[in-house]
Amino acid sequence: MYLVANNFLDSTHGALGCITCHDGQNVSDKEGAHQGLIVRPSADTDGICAQCHGSITTSFSNSLHSTLHGFVSSLETFSEPGVLEQEGGLQYLYENNCSSCHASCGSCHVSRPVSYTGGLHSQHEFTKTPPMEETCYGCHPTRNGGEFMGKVGYTPDVHYQAGMECVDCHDVSNFHGSGEQEMGMYQLNSMVQCTDCHQDVYSGTSPIEAHKVHNEDLMSCQVCHASANNNCFDCHVTLKDDGGLSSTSETKLMFKIGTNPEITERYPYKYVTLRHVPTTIDSFIQLGESLLPNYHSVSNWKMSPTHNIQRVTLQNETCSSCHGNQYIFLQEKDLRDTDSAANERVLVKEIP
Amino acid sequence: MENFFKVRYNAAILFLIIMAALIFVVAGCQEREDAQGKDPVAHVDPIPSESCISCHTSADIINTLAVTDDGDDGHGGEGG
């Protein structure tokens, strides 16, 4: 719906007139008025928004929300670096599906994502803080966004129940970019950590015994405080007659703790919560043979900062809820025939 | 003598009140400047758009012309 509020016309942006941003013609017939119309003026990061908000648009153009480098690096890791620059199935996939997801100024501050419902979220008024339910959730509904709000899984995150929104934890640079060329969210220095707010947990002064006996590097906070998350398996992309793409995958709510396959200074934990990603070796078989030659060198059970935190969970109720509980640690028997051989690295071989 | 101290005391109080007011005004201005960001505001000339506005502010008209964006065939968000 493209109904515009009268209030908007009195705002700074509204006073510029529709045509200043959208082009088109100031005539009364619909076809003539829409000649040359630019539906999403902010899709060009160097365009109209940059005239007044240049420092943000410059930073944003290198951000993950704009470049989608997270998708790029996932596909390249399963295949090979530079594969999306070569003509072929993965390039077709990226250009006809993945790349349609990238955000622009307007897709958060003015409208809803096309993949959600499209249209304007506040009758064209520019919202300084975009409404989480219609913007963040619009693009992140199946996993962290949906889990945070309780639309996926069992219980909303305690922070959501306390009235918090995405922007209360995530720094604005997680949306507008840090100014650097961003390669993946786990490389971002500005990514929030629980201890930014919960500073007493590892200080030795916490009144909670479990915080004293588990050291900081042993496990991520989610290992004790997350609930079951949404896991996708065996995604298959279908090429339709008109050239469009669609996909289906099996989803399952599960809670699995695994071994952190990539210990870094920022993520030093031995144990982390996991999530199964949809990709399987023949996910894109309709677009070409052997498109993922490195499939077995990358695990498809991934570290996940699951966003459905609870104070009390099934695994932290008592010591024995976790210790010795074979159901919550990823083991060989949990792997599917279609899984990557690299999942070996995240298995918990000796249950603590 | 007592009067002398009273005058000095009143002057000191007045000085403090003026300083507080100055700090309040300067800090307020600073905050406004920060809120507007570092970007210079470009001069953008408005373009008359009354024809667009007359349709797009009318719920009756927009409802009869409503179109929906193409979805993505149920792919949904895969991020995060």
Whether the per-residue pLDDT at B80 is higher than 50: the answer is: no
pLDDT of residue B43: 85
List phi, psi (to 5°) of A250: -85, 135
Which residue among B42, B48, B79 places its CB closest to the CB of A139?
A: B79
Low-confidence ranges of chain A (pLDDT < 50): none
Which residue among B37, B40, B76 places its CB closest to the CB of A141?
A: B76
pLDDT of residue B1: 60
- Give residue B79's pLDDT band: very low, low, confident or very high (50, 70, 90): very low
Specify whether the CB–CB gap between A276 and A301 falls below 8 A: yes
Query: Any chain A CB within 8 A of the CB of B77?
Result: yes
**Whole-prediction pTM value?**
0.86
Kindly list the residues from chain B whose CB atom is less than 8 angstroms away from the CB atom of residue A117.
68-69
Whether the per-residue pLDDT at B75 is higher than 70: the answer is: no
Could you tell me which chain A residue has the CA closest to the CA of B57?
Answer: A4
Chain-chain contact of A28 with B42 (C-beta, under 8 angstroms): no
Which residue among A3, A26, A244 places its CB closest to the CB of B48?
A: A26
Q: Which residues contact B70 (CB under 8 A, 6 or more apart)?
A: A114
- Give residue B32's pLDDT band: very low, low, confident or very high (50, 70, 90): very low
Whether the per-residue pLDDT at B34 is higher than 50: the answer is: no
- Give residue B5's pLDDT band: very low, low, confident or very high (50, 70, 90): confident
C-alpha to C-alpha distance for B19 and B76, rounded to whole angstroms = 58
Other C-beta atoms lying within 10 Å of the C-beta of residue A285: 16
C-alpha to C-alpha distance for A333 and B42, rounded to whole angstroms = 62
Query: Any chain B CB within 8 A of the CB of A101?
Result: yes
ipTM above 0.95, yes or no: no
Shortest Cα distance from A241 to chain B (angstroms)?
14
Q: Which of A134, A111, A95 is nearest to A21 (CA)?
A: A111
pLDDT of residue A62: 95
For the segment A44-81, what is each residue's pLDDT rounded down to a tens digit? Answer: 999 999 999 999 999 999 999 999 999 999 999 999 99
For the segment A200-238, what is each residue's pLDDT rounded down to a tens digit? Answer: 998 888 999 999 999 999 999 999 999 999 999 999 999
As a whole number, mean pLDDT of residues B20-48 equals: 68
Query: Any chain A CB within 8 A of the CB of B36?
Result: no
pLDDT of residue B26: 67
